[in-house]
Amino acid sequence: MTTEILVPDIGDFADVEIIEVLVSPGDTVDAEDSLITVESDKASMEIPTPSAGEIVSVAVSVGDRVSEGSLLITLEEGGDTSASVEEEIVEVREADEAFAVTEVAETTPAAAETSQTVEVKVPDIGDFNDVEVIEVLVSAGDTVEKEQSLITLESDKASMEIPSTHAGAIDSVAVSVGDRVSEGDVFAVMTASGAVAATAAPAASKPAKASAPQAAASEPLAPGDTNMKPAPVEPAPPERITSGKAHASPAIRQFVRELGVDVSKVVGTGHKGRITKEDVQNHIKRVIAEHDTNKASSGFSLPTAPEVDFSKWGDVEEVELGRIKKLSGAHLHRAWLSVPHITQFDEADITELEAFRKESKARAEQAGIKLTFMPFLLKACATALKTMPEFNASLTPDGERLILKKYVNIGIAVDTPNGLVVPVVKDVDKKGIFEIGAELMEISANARDGKLRPSDMQGGCFSISSLGGIGGTQFTPIVNAPEVAILGVSKAEMKPVWDGSEFQPRLIMPFSLSYDHRVIDGAQGVRFTTYLGDLLDDIRHLLL
């Protein structure tokens, strides 16, 4: 039967570029074999075939752009093409920064059995490698269903649960919390019930076979193998600028951005010219060697922080900084250095709003919603952003144009045990208070449990950082670039306010607005805070 294979659901990505086509007409593929590799501005991923069979035609080529539902190939479906594999094969798996070469010898059983011992391995998880295990959800002796989650992994981009490929009983678990795994690693052994798939290892993809000698020669071995070191850096080789888009994994691209390196000028020595961490480091060494004599010529260069031996004055303990703090710290550092910040401080009288919130709590609880002040603040900010669209914008990288956004997505800074994360509430201007409150409860719980998806933290137009539940009077939040403004909210307090004849107790909330002075001037900043304060003073303004 001839089947058209389409691009599956790939999240919030659309119109992504094809950087590799891994099959040709006439090729025979197994289910889950990779067909193409696509690359967005956030990640690269391989698209697998859902069925086994023979490739009839390929509808795309390198450089094309595809979205969910685009036609990739036409496939003549066949049986399990791995059933006749009875030989030792070598699987070459490409990682972000290394190639691990593993010899696998497995034999396909003659027929499916009603129960069989199965090794459960880490499936294809994209370009992630050496990913930390943060939860082990089963133990030896547990009975599980097919697709039931067994472990939870967390990379620098997202957390993901790995499901069971079969139903049956867990014999043993080979990992524990804190271990690191990669695609193909065995993390559990189980006795599967019912018919099971053949256990022969699938043949390595053609591109991997072709690149195996190159990978062995140019890449470091897997972690733990100390018998080989990367080749020494040649002194000042001629620079090569690659044509087209540079091929590098998301982790390498982030590493390049943090170092301020032009990725198009880095020579990739990895599989199919992909850029590795060593390539970036060697590029920097060459650039430093070439420009060493001029390294102090710029008066605006930041001096290197001196290394201090603090143990001279007493006992110390060195603790590893959390992963989220490392990532957010680098982003905040870039934002603080690249965005000219101005902060405007103001206050809002939220006495009437707080009274209305308390009156509405019972009705919200009947709907299963914990009604806090935050949904009202989000709604007020959305109204202000619609009224003053320059705050709902981003500056182009060349600083010449302003991108005005027709949607209102607001990020909320959430304090978690692992650090600060900023999930985004989408289309705030189109939602009611109860709907926003329910969504806030969900994303806050996911943030604290480490279950936020990458798409949950993308697409923000404006951010809010609220410390009102902790304390403080005022603070200066850092703009979450490429946004142009961020609101900081402090703890509200009862204060005496003069009404013209006497002092009245009023609930006053201090807040601060930091903004990019290249886009927003001081007068605009004051108008925004004044308008936002008016909206919070009288909630009826939100209906206008």
Q: Residue 433: which region, alpha, beta or left (left: phi > 0; alpha: psi -120 to 50)?
A: alpha
Asked if residue 115 lies in contact with residue 168, where contact means CB atoms within 8 angstroms, the answer is yes
| Pair of tokens at residue 121 | 């391995």
Describe the crossing of helices 374-387 and 522-537 by its angle, rounded to 10 degrees.
130
Instruction: Residue 114: count other Cβ atoms within 10 Å of its Cβ.
Output: 9
Strand partners, 36: 21, 47
Q: Which residue has the tokens 């001037």?
A: 521
Cβ atoms of 108 and 135 within 8 Å: the answer is: no
Among the listed residues 289, 269, 271, 287, the one whose alpha carbon sits nearest the alpha carbon of residue 279: 269
517 is catalytic: yes
CA dist 33 and 17 (Å) reads 19
Strands (DSSP E) along 270-412, which ranges? 341-349, 393-395, 402-404, 410-412
Q: What's the distance, Cα to Cα, between the start and end of the chain in Å?
A: 60
Q: Which residues lie below 8 Å from residue 133, measured CB to CB, with a gap of 6+? A: 151, 152, 153, 175, 176, 177, 178, 179, 180, 181, 187
Distances (CA, A) of 263 to 127, 209, 220, 239: 18, 27, 21, 12
User: How many other CB atoms are there within 10 angstroms of residue 408's CB atom?
Assistant: 23
Positive or negative CA dihedral for 128, 130, 136, 141? Answer: positive
Q: Provide the token pair at 544.
A: 């206008």
Buried b (16+ CB within 10 A) or exposed e, 374-402: bbbbbbbbbbbbeebebbbbbbeeeeeee
Residue pair 181/133 in contact (Cβ under 8 Å)? The answer is: yes
Q: How many residues does the chain have?
A: 544
Rounded to whole angstroms, the Cα distance separating 349 from 510 reads 9
Report whether 46 contacts 28 (CB < 8 A).
no
Distance CA 180, CA 131 (A): 5
**Using only C-alpha atoms, what is the Rg of the chain?**
28
- Rounded Cα–Cα distance for residues 103 and 91 (Å): 7
Quote the longest CA-to-CA distance of the chain.
95
β-pair type (168-173, 143-144): antiparallel
Catalytic residue among 247, 331, 517, 541: 517
Interatomic CA distance for residues 521 and 68, integer angstroms = 42
Q: Active-site positions?
A: 517
